[in-house]
Amino acid sequence: MCGILTIYKKEGIGRSDLDSSLKSLNIIKHRGPDGEGLILINTKNQEYEVILTADTPKGISGIGIEEIDFNKGYDLLLAHRRLSIFDLSIKGHQPLFYKEQVIVFNGEIYNFHELKEILIETGYTFTSGTDTEVILAAYNHWGKDCFAKFNGMWSLAIYNLKTGELTVSNDRYGVKPLYYFIEDQNFILMSEPKQILAFPEKMRGINTRAVNIFMDLGYLFIDHGTFFKDIFRFPIASHYCFKAGEKNLSFIKGPEKFYVLPNIIKNDISQAEVIKTFKKLFSDAVKIRLRSDVKLGIALSGGLDSTSIAFVAKEVLQNHNFTTFSVIAEKGSEGDESYYINLANKQLDSENIQVNPLYDFNKESFLNQIYQIGSPVADTSFFAQYILNKVIKKNGVTVLLTGQGGDEILAGYHHHFYKYTSELFRQGKIIKGIKEINKWSKLKGKSKRSVLNSAFFDFYLTTKTKLGLSKFPFDFQNKIFSTKRLIDFLKLEIEMLQLPYFLLADDRFSMASAVETRNPFLDYRLVDFVFSLPNQYKIRDGWQKWLLRETMSEMPDEIRYRKDKKGFTTPMQSWIASNQEMLNSLALVSDQYFPEHISKPLFKRAAMGAWIQNFIIKN
């Protein structure tokens, strides 16, 4: 897990460009505190020079910054900050060379051991225990087809010193986001948008569309944009090949997809086989994410997803104990899940470290949280995540397993239930839909009429939008509200709605503390299998995430059959009430820039003001 920077400047990279690059790397030093590496390349003749800095590990060969001859026509820079996870020696230093290729890579390939064995059988040899070296060998052997073979998370750039081609790729679900700035066929690739602060001449201000979507709807990162104008996100599940001198450079239209979510539903598989296959895939997803040369832990919220991961990890690791980390609130208050957390840990027999983030919530920490994530946030749960990662690092843990993705693939949110019953009504399965509503209402303690109204409203709105009778201000809204099937809506959740932002927060807050997070529910084998199943395995008899509940029989039933739905829940309203003055001061900053949003909720405006103060006023 690391941070990367790649720059192509066709007229040549000069000393000022290098100085800005070093500042850019320093901005993300938290992502890779274990070392820094740079290489300058002339893409016309393939000459290159490895550059040594104060943070380059000893034992790496190269030249110092003052020795660089900028008249040699270097036009490509690959740079890297390293967080050591596998093979902690300098053999894992990046940029890393293999044959005629060189790479900068952020992420983990969990199945690299298996791929390495295949490559060795075909004649490849390896000098390190890193997954990075396996990526290059795989790319050398399979070309662009290698990305479909990777089980993991990544953003990377590979340069071929023989062909002069640069290949850029992002993982299937965007777990490790990648961003870019393009100007006159020159570009900057980066791990975080705020790296652009090191290039003040490239700063173009605020993306007002992103602001309006956030303020009006609470959505973030619906499309390829960010809150920085002209800083865009590289498409997920894609790769793009660029050769110096190419015209019409486009990271949006040009990338080639190597993965799409399944569209075919399997109706000929027995329930027993479904449960057996799911358990096998889920167990292996956890198992390969427990591979590490550093200490690991598990985020435990007390909910179904994270507790399932912890119980599978206990089974996989057997006698090896691990530490769990939990967010708690004041006893008896909204968001207090300490009862379920303690219940799980008693059976797991694991060390559990708990934190109440309320005690750290002040203006300085809130501003720093917004700086690290690089965008405003809609509620206080993200602050809880930010503080938890700080505690995790203080306790010597570098790798953390989390439950991200469980709700999106297994239909865990309330609105997924409404979409499901709406689909049943559309199929003419009225009686089944009513039965599901009756059971769900009882489980959730809601009135049957209100739930029925919500389901029928989804049916009504979807039909009206699909027929073009309802129009919304933003194009993506029309796409969302015209989606009829639950499976298609879940795809939107993964590709453009909730999951991208949750993964972004996961990446930023963990890396702010030099912690790597891993998400077993986003193992593509598990995702593909679940997406190939009928809805009845996601929602049945009023129970959402039915398949996971049915599979995890070793868990306490009080958690397995919890009726409420929580995550890193926090007592948001009490936090706001006790920090009114601080939030008002930040909201005023937002109001000065966007007076049209002055009527929006206080917390949203304060978060927007914190973003402006961090990235616009200070720069």
Q: Which amino acid is at 347?
A: Q
CA-based max dimension of the chain: 78
Side-chain half-sphere exposure of 275, counting CA atoms within 13 A: 10
Indicate which residue of 1, 2, 373, 377 is catalytic.
2
Q: With beta carbons less than 8 A apart as the criterion, state whether 515 and 397 touch.
A: yes
235: DSSP letter? P
At what angle are helices 602-612 and 363-373 packed, to 10 degrees? 70
| Residue with token string 């927007």 | 608
Token code pair at residue 135: 């990526």
Alpha helices in 496-601 (DSSP H): 498-512, 524-531, 546-551, 557-560, 572-578, 580-593
Provide the 10 A C-beta neighbour count for residue 361: 19
Concatenating the DSSP letter of every residue in 73-115 gives: ---EEEEEEE---S--SGGG-SSEEETTEEEEEEEEETTHHHH
What angle (nearest 5°) sits at the alpha carbon of residue 182, between those of residues 177 and 188?
A: 55
In three-state secondary structure terms, 62 is: coil
Provide the 10 A C-beta neighbour count for residue 509: 23
Q: How far apart are CA 552 and CA 534, in angstroms?
A: 20
Q: With beta carbons less than 8 A apart as the criterion, state whether 422 and 459 touch.
A: yes
What long-range pairs does 245-252 form, CB within 8 A, spacing at least 24? 245/10, 246/185, 247/185, 249/182, 249/185, 249/187, 250/182, 251/168, 251/180, 251/182, 251/187, 252/224
Annotated catalytic residue 2: yes
Active site residues: 2
